[in-house]
Amino acid sequence: MSDAGDLDLNTLNDEELVQQVHDDLYDGLKEEVEAAVHILLGRGWAPYKVLTEALVEGMRIVGVDFRDGILFVPEVLLAANSMKAGMAILRPLLIATGAPRLGKMVIGTVKGDIHDIGKNLVGMMMEGAGFEVVDLGINNPVEKYLEAMETHKPDILGMSALLTTTMPYMKVVIDTMKEKGIRDDYTVLVGGAPLNEDFAKAIGADAYCRDAAVAVETAKSFMSRKHNQLG
């Protein structure tokens, strides 16, 4: 899409540089994405602004062309790797807020699903807001979630699914929690592009989170309700 070959990213103004990140993400140019993230941070951009305006927006554009059959899995994988490289630079900055510990969340992508960018972002933002996060990774069967809840005793269970074929698995996890009599011991938050509030309600989750910022706000509000009940 772009000719990033001899381009000196430092010569671009902010708007051009963000546009260039979108192009470089699209082209899977990891090192260029990393360099641009460093430049934007060096120009005083807040990490969250770099994340949303440069990386997340770039990935949204990739998603549109993937859907329309213009990009294919290998190209999207390269874009995803570039996105992850940019996120890795931002991660320590986003989590180093010194916020007091608010609670603990176990999060994982459900069985059959290997999408993890959104889940990782939610984990990063939750850590930044003061939550301890245990990340189970991708492709988690119900047993993995149960084991993690038993071991880590979180306040919140977060599940992510990006495919219409894998989102019903969230109900399998919640139903199993009900069968074991532990459903009400946890706040269950779900998210992922194909979900919506009605789906979350139908499967018995506590809330649907449209994005990472909503996940943080929702988690905080459930934690304050919990503390009010206890106190």
Residues of this chain that interact with ligand B1M (CB under 6 A) are 56, 59, 62-63, 66-67, 73, 76-77, 80, 107, 112-119, 121-122, 158, 160, 162-164, 189-194, 209, 211-212, 215
Minimum gap (Å) between residue 1 Cβ and ligand B1M: 15
Minimum CB separation of residue 231 from ligand B1M in Å reads: 25
CA distances from 188 to 15, 117, 191, 228 (A): 39, 20, 10, 18
Apex 199 CA angle, 177 and 139, nearest 5: 55
- Write down the residue that tokens 């989102």 correspond to: 167
Our CB check for ligand B1M shows the closer of 20 and 82 to be 82
Q: Strand pairing of 156-160 and 207-209?
A: unpaired
State in angstroms the smallest separation of the CB of 126 from ligand B1M: 8
Which of helix, strand or coil describes residue 208?
strand
Q: How far is the CB of 215 from ligand B1M (least distance, A)?
A: 4
Give the residue with the Cβ less far from ligand B1M, 7 or 66.
66
Q: How far is the CB of 153 from ligand B1M (least distance, A)?
A: 18
Nearer to ligand B1M, 39 or 58 (CB): 58
Tell me, letter by letter, the H, E, C secondary structure of 140-198: ECHHHHHHHHHHHCCCEEEEECCCCCCCCHHHHHHHHHHHCCCHHHCEEEEECCCCCHH
Closer residue to ligand B1M in complex, CB, 14/206: 206
* Residue closer to ligand B1M, measured from CB, 12 or 138: 138
